[in-house]
Structure 1
Amino acid sequence: MSRVICAGHLNWDVTLRVDALPEPDGEATVESHVGAGGGSAANVASGLVGLDVPTSLLGSVGTDEHGRAAVAELASKGVDCQYVVDVDHGPTTVKYIVVDASGDVFVLGSPGVNESFEADDLPADALAAADHLHLTSQSPATAAALARLASEVGTTVSFDPGRRIGDRGYTDALRLVDFVFLNDREAATALGEAAEHNHSDTGGNGGAVGDALDETTLVIKHGPKGAEVRDGDERHVHPGYPVDAVDTTGAGDAFAAGFIAARLEDRTYERALAIANACGALTAAEPGARTQLNWRRLDDLLER
């Protein structure tokens, strides 16, 4: 059985590297065009298996070439894909990721079936046997149902709700999880004024979402400035690692993989943040959403 189950998006990514992001009515030169598997849940699963953590993926793809390729790529890396649902009523979700010379990214998404899976597509015995469940952006009802089932069987849960945390109705799920991953923009949306402080001391100034997060441990990613953990009255900080960013796509997912892997081994928050920041830095320094993570590469960076 897998130690971790990742639930959420499994996509096909088309990455366009351009010389610069154009202004309105402007034009840019496409310097390269690459297709590969993507999606937050899939990226985290790939990172975890690279860190020697047996991992299963719960998600959905269409019965098309992109879906088959995305699943085959993950399976070749060692991700257990037996809970990936093949959907015949729509296409695999495709994301068009545009990356400029400085590594800045914007994303164009096409409709697809990456939220067609449901909580009951995951057998109860698989969830009970896992050490941890990681949720990413997905149907709010599915996220809440999975978090509730995990809570009932004593499996810990983390959640990375993504950029739409403020408008997708995730409050039920957020109340049930142990850890929530947010970047600075998402933290500002979710917590309001509390984003600059320990959220437990500010009364949930972010409204309903802030209130839902009031008893949750927050892991806030500051990009090149590192990251922090806010656990009740405690605050743990790591400054990160200086790297020349090539492509920040997937860096947050790699960060989550490193943090989860470290916590499964009972590492302290400080050490977990160091490992997570190293994973994010390695990913940002290379093109594509899935840098090959392994302990040898991480140890080289951590020692420096």
Structure 2
Amino acid sequence: MTASVFIAGPASWNSIVVLDRLPEPVPHMQFAEESWETVGGTSAGKALALAALGRSALLYALTADDEPGRRVRDALERAGVSARWATSDATERHLNLMTRQGGRVSLYLASPSVTHGEDDADLVAAMSDADVIVFDLAAEPLRLLPVAIATGRPIWVDVHDYDGESEFHRPFLAAADAVFCNADRLADPVLFLRSCIDAGASLAVCTLGADGAVAIDADGTEHRVAAVPVDVVDTNGAGDAFLAGVLDARLAGAGVPEALTAGSRAAASVLGTRHLHPLLDPVIG
């Protein structure tokens, strides 16, 4: 069956450590409140959220033939995610230092190298058949950007905590029909969103944590949505679920306000689990 969404980007094996505060940049000792291991990766989070919404999606990601890679592949398969795996020299692994309020420091323990394009013909076919292509920030999606653009399919990108200046993000922004980000490093999120629309995007959205999200549509109209109140266990995956909820609603024909509401609901659905998505609760425990 043809997937309506093609997602390319990271799937990882993560160690999560919850602290009462993020570490200060001085030698010291802290005690963790809690810790666990789980599937990570922003593309894995989007694929899980879309699977939960009943939207057909294909995840393309890289793993190695190692124990972390086997854990990632097995967990996502058991959670109902359709995936195409390429083999890399390393499975992506993170150590995420978290606070209950959503603060995070991500330490990258291992990152996969890009492929040599041996499967590109099949990937181009899958992208060409999709309604939307979603690219996350990673070396392999960056390598695939030219062929993704050539398909003519709409491209949605998630630039996360973009600071408005990073060169690595610029090719993704230039290719984007829809841009998603968070406000962590933006001095003026609305100004940035309007710059995305001016550059050719038809939708630009910035998540604001507990304050919900703000979006600018193709007509320059500003839209806002409140966050759904929920008891937060872990914030990993909330932004990915938000994008998935908006995308699913837009593909179903919803307007921007209704799609943002759907995104807010989807984000709230993952905040009560310590995994990327509740679909992983019975799989990882």
Q: Same-fold call, TM > 0.5?
A: yes
For the residues of structure 1 that align with 2:11 and 2:192, how far apart are their CA atoms?
A: 33
User: Which residue in 1 is equivalent to 2:283?
Assistant: none
Question: Measured at CA, do residues 236 and 75 of structure 1 come closer, stay the same or move farther in structure 2, by a change above 3 Å?
Answer: same
For the residues of structure 2 that align with 1:265 and 1:131, how far apart are their CA atoms?
A: 11
User: Which residue in 1 is equivalent to 2:246?
Assistant: 259
User: Which residue in 2 is equivalent to 1:137?
Assistant: 137
Does structure 2 conserve the Cα–Cα contact (< 8 Å) formed by 1:59 and 1:117? no
For the residues of structure 1 that align with 2:8 and 2:261, how far apart are their CA atoms?
A: 25
Question: Measured at CA, do residues 63 and 184 of structure 1 come closer, stay the same or move farther in structure 2, by a change above 3 Å?
Answer: same
Measure how far apart 1:109 and its partner are.
1.3
User: Which residue in 2 is equivalent to 1:302?
Assistant: none
Matches within 5 A, 1:59-70: 59-70=61-72
User: Which residue in 1 is equivalent to 2:17?
Assistant: 16
User: Which residue in 2 is equivalent to 1:30?
Assistant: 32
Does structure 2 conserve the Cα–Cα contact (< 8 Å) formed by 1:198 and 1:230? no
Q: Deviations over 1:48-83 (max 9, x none)?
A: 1111111111111111000011011111122222x2
User: Which residue in 2 is equivalent to 1:44?
Assistant: 46
User: Which residue in 2 is equivalent to 1:155?
Assistant: 153
Matches within 5 A, 1:280-295: 280-292=267-279
How many residue pairs align between the two structures? 273
Measure how far apart 1:19 and its partner are.
4.2
Question: Measured at CA, do residues 270 and 14 of structure 1 come closer, stay the same or move farther in structure 2, by a change above 3 Å?
Answer: same
* Residue 240 (1) aligns with residue 227 (2): yes
Measure how far apart 1:160 and its partner are.
0.5
Query: Which residue identity does 1:256 align to in structure 2?
Result: L
For the residues of structure 1 that align with 2:231 and 2:86, how far apart are their CA atoms?
A: 38
User: Which residue in 1 is equivalent to 2:104?
Assistant: 105
- Classify the secondary structure of the residue corresponding to 1:182: strand
Measure how far apart 1:117 and its partner are.
3.9
* Residue 218 (1) aligns with residue 217 (2): no
Q: Which deviates more, 117-126 or 282-291?
A: 117-126
Does structure 2 conserve the Cα–Cα contact (< 8 Å) formed by 1:105 and 1:249? no
For the residues of structure 2 that align with 1:119 and 1:133, how far apart are their CA atoms?
A: 18
Q: Which deviates more, 90-99 or 22-31?
A: 22-31
Measure how far apart 1:287 and its partner are.
1.9
Measure how far apart 1:149 and its partner are.
3.0
Question: What's the TM-score once normalised by structure 2's chain length?
Answer: 0.85
User: Which residue in 2 is equivalent to 1:229?
Assistant: 215
Identity of aligned pairs, percent? 24
Gap runs ≥5 in structure 2: 281-285
RMSD: 2.5
Does structure 1 conserve the Cα–Cα contact (< 8 Å) formed by 2:94 and 2:110? no
Does structure 2 conserve the Cα–Cα contact (< 8 Å) formed by 1:199 and 1:214? no
Measure how far apart 1:121 and its partner are.
3.3
Question: What's the TM-score once normalised by structure 1's chain length?
Answer: 0.80
Does structure 2 conserve the Cα–Cα contact (< 8 Å) formed by 1:12 and 1:67? yes
User: Which residue in 1 is equivalent to 2:128?
Assistant: 128
* Residue 269 (1) aligns with residue 262 (2): no
Measure how far apart 1:269 and its partner are.
0.8
For the residues of structure 2 that align with 1:261 and 1:148, how far apart are their CA atoms?
A: 25
For the residues of structure 1 that align with 2:116 and 2:249, how far apart are their CA atoms?
A: 29
Question: Measured at CA, do residues 71 and 213 of structure 1 come closer, stay the same or move farther in structure 2, by a change above 3 Å?
Answer: farther
Does structure 1 conserve the Cα–Cα contact (< 8 Å) formed by 2:100 and 2:232? no
Does structure 2 conserve the Cα–Cα contact (< 8 Å) formed by 1:7 and 1:41? yes
Gap runs ≥5 in structure 1: 205-209, 294-304
Question: Measured at CA, do residues 126 and 111 of structure 1 come closer, stay the same or move farther in structure 2, by a change above 3 Å?
Answer: same
